[in-house]
Structure 1
């Protein structure tokens, strides 16, 4: 009898702790969302935000890998993290700058105006309440699964249809050994299609704007990490075995086939396009 009472007491305490944790998480997200919204409605609802946000996030996430490439010329430890020993030295500052201006020009001339038109038609809104922690996790994860599937189909199509490869995707494959900034060194049509895919995933899933912000941030980081050229000890694919990571994607650039999914490996395993 005494043991039963103790068990009930333990359950009550655990339920109270779980409720407290959930409330704390909700309060943190609500405060974060209110901080994001505070006086920023015009910016958050601007049709120019998605393209500007994608470009700036991409450049900022590339900065640590620019530092690694600079250190690689003098530090053997950094060079040992590079995926292919025979891939040559890290890209020079001149290559980085050339890549930066190409990506910037395509964003300004094509990606920015078209995505602005898309956002104007979409007419997003800003709810007062933030999502729960569980809802945020589910929405972000669902966006990644959907984006991964759509990207796999589109990427595979660009390789299997000669016209699509020549006119849209071939430019991205000028990098046999890609570096971080080269994740978006692609044709205007490809850059635009991928950003529209990401935006459409948020719309299809019905994401809260905060969930969508988190998804786009993580999406930008993972794209940069996939192209960085380093197999880092702390990389996401070492923490999550379901991810392919930089070695997975660099094999695609080397072989020009297989490993079509951007992040997860299950579609390539299922269709027999996986290359180790």
Structure 2
């Protein structure tokens, strides 16, 4: 495969991947329907391991012992997953997909760069997007909780899940789903991401949201490896108490504003 050189005369490590993605796919990559479709499909696929865990949890005590709310009963049944899936799909098809396609069209034509980002560039851009999205979501989340009318019309649907599961990360009103996708797209736009960095950001963003809502305090979860993340135990505390742990991923804003509540962690078997 032909590698395009950078301005320093070396091809980025990710150039081959980027050329494979671009090859004959520019129409798809520039499609106004891509952002919403990618968000929905990525979310559903990343939920699959937790669907398997929930199925195992109905027969395996060890899996149930990993649950954040170990005393809340068995994991959600398949029927609850299916009901949630159809609700989310309906809101994407009727609101999120047409709205984001319209906004994409208003931005005008775009062109894909020939060069892939370097690995350090990709890491910095993805991390910057996560920090910015975390900040914007914290502000929006607090606002939704502080104004009762806004809470009832936009955010209350999401809080019907007192005990969360992975797919429920996007079981929200159509207005909230659209607002969260716009916050993510705006974060990438403000940072000025390379399209490959943006795709990685949206994937990591989806994984963190799924992990936050999965209902499991797994030994290998990211919040156990990175102490700056709140993870599922912190977010479960938000769904239980409503007035704490507003930030989606990182803990610094809640610590700064006094809304952080340390969760009672489960004891994970070795």
Same fold (TM over 0.5): yes
1:63-122 deviation line (CA, Å, top 9, x unaligned):
000000000011111001001122211000000000000000000000000001111122
Deviation at 1:36, TM superposition (A): 0.5
SS of the residue aligned with 1:157? helix
Picking from 165, 187, 195, the partner of 2:151 is: 165
Does structure 1 conserve the Cα–Cα contact (< 8 Å) formed by 2:157 and 2:173? yes
Q: Alignment partner for residue 45 of structure 1, among 30, 49, 52?
A: 30
Structure 2 unaligned blocks of 5 or more: 1-7, 263-270
Partner of 2:63: 78
Between Structure 1 and Structure 2, which shows a larger proportion of helix residues? Answer: 1
Cα deviation 1:132-188 (Å, max 9, x = unaligned): 111111111110110000000000000001111010000000000000000000000
Q: Identify the residue that residue 240 of structure 2 maps to in structure 1.
A: 254
Compute the displacement of 1:257 (Å): 1.4
- Match for 1:265 among 251, 255, 259? 251
Partner of 2:120: 134
> Match for residue 201 of structure 2?
215
1:229 and 2:215 aligned:
yes
Contact 2:208 2:249 in 1 (8 A): yes
Q: What is the TM-score when the length of structure 2 is the normalising length?
A: 0.92
Residue 28 of structure 1: SS of its match in structure 2? Answer: coil
Deviation (angstroms), 1:228: 0.1
Query: Contact 2:158–2:172 at 8 Å: present in 1 too?
Result: yes
SS at 2:18 equivalent = helix
CA contact (8 A) 2:133 2:184 kept: yes
Unaligned 5+ runs, structure 1: 1-21
**Larger Rg: 1 or 2?**
1
**1:94 paired to 2:76:** no
Distance (Å, rounded) in 2 between the aligned partners of 1:50 and 1:165: 26
Aligned partners of 2:13 and 2:118 also within 8 Å: no
| 1:187 matched to 2:170 | no
* 2:142 pairs with 1:156: yes
Query: Per-residue displacement from partner, 1:216-266 (whole Å, max 9, x unpaired)?
Result: 000001100000000001100011110000001000001111100000000
- Counterpart Cα distance in 1 of 2:71 and 2:65: 11
Secondary structure class of the residue paired with 1:86: coil
Runs of 4+ in 1 over 4 A off after TM superposition: none
Per-residue deviation, 1:23: 9.1
Residues in 1 aligned to 2:58 and 2:72: alpha-carbon distance in whole angstroms: 14
> Residues 195-210 of structure 1: matches in 2 within 5 Å?
195-210=181-196
